[in-house]
Amino acid sequence: MENLNRDVTSFIEDVTNEKVEHKITTATLKDFIANPDDIMRPIYDFVEEQLNLGKLGYGEVRVDDADLSVRLETNLINLPLSEIKRIDKMISDEDELPLNVYLVMISPNVNVSGLRIDEVASADDFVGNLDTYLPMMNDWVADHLAAVQENMKTNAEKEAEESAAAKKAPAKKSTVKKAAPKRTTARKSAAKKTTAKKSTRKSTPRKATAKTAEKK
């Protein structure tokens, strides 16, 4: 089959505009852990089929009772298709890149980042050789499902211990601190002493100026 390289610009446009063939199935965590090979096989077949048609594609198993999804996707770099903006920033300066196949697990319980992604093979090698990669892919899914289950158990135990400790802890008495009343001291206004100013000016009696009529 011809080399499965992909033009970067058209790849980013197709993923951004959701022009990627996909197949989604659901399962409970209990069933998935019990039969990972059987539940994943239709996903593997679907992706190989899309590659045979020269198309991008991904298959996904969603586990709603565990906030978990497992995907097999075709991509140009090891980032999930859901992070196309980051992919764009990293490869936008490239003209063409080879297409690869990746296994992706998304769950808050798979690791600290909540994401695990690993390359399975180049798309060229994957097509026509699915049986060669089946054991590796099935082991990958089974191992990471087991890790998720263990982390869920650990987290549940930790939450139970914290809840029990919180119940045993004595409730703190809330003491309301009363504000001390302010002492108001009335300031006596000092009475101003009014001192009458003594007049220093002497009053001089006015002399009579009336003229007496002269006798004729």
**CA–CA separation, 136 vs 61, rounded Å?**
18
Strands 68-75 and 100-106: antiparallel
In a domain? residue 179: no
In a domain? residue 208: no
Q: What is the pLDDT of residue 160?
A: 84
Q: What is the pLDDT of residue 165?
A: 82
User: What is the number of domains present in the chain?
Assistant: 1
Q: Are 34 and 145 in contact (CB under 8 A)?
A: no
The radius of gyration of the chain's CA atoms, rounded to the nearest angstrom, is 46
Q: What is the pLDDT of residue 214?
A: 43
Contacts of 133 (CB under 8 A, 6+ apart): 120, 121, 126
Q: What is the pLDDT of residue 179?
A: 60
Per-residue tens of pLDDT for the chain, all 216 residues: 556 899 999 999 999 999 999 999 999 999 999 999 999 999 999 999 999 999 999 999 999 899 999 999 999 999 999 999 999 999 999 999 999 999 999 999 999 999 999 999 999 999 999 999 999 999 999 999 999 999 999 988 888 888 878 888 666 665 556 666 566 555 554 444 444 444 444 444 454 444 444 444
Contacts of 152 (CB under 8 A, 6+ apart): 66, 109
Q: What is the pLDDT of residue 130?
A: 97
Q: What is the pLDDT of residue 166?
A: 82
In a domain? residue 204: no
DSSP assigned state of 127: T
Distances from the Cα of 95 to the Cα of 16, 19, 125, 171, angstroms? 17, 20, 22, 65
In a domain? residue 54: yes
pTM for this predicted structure: 0.74
In a domain? residue 139: yes
In a domain? residue 207: no
Domain range for residue 144? 5-164
In a domain? residue 91: yes
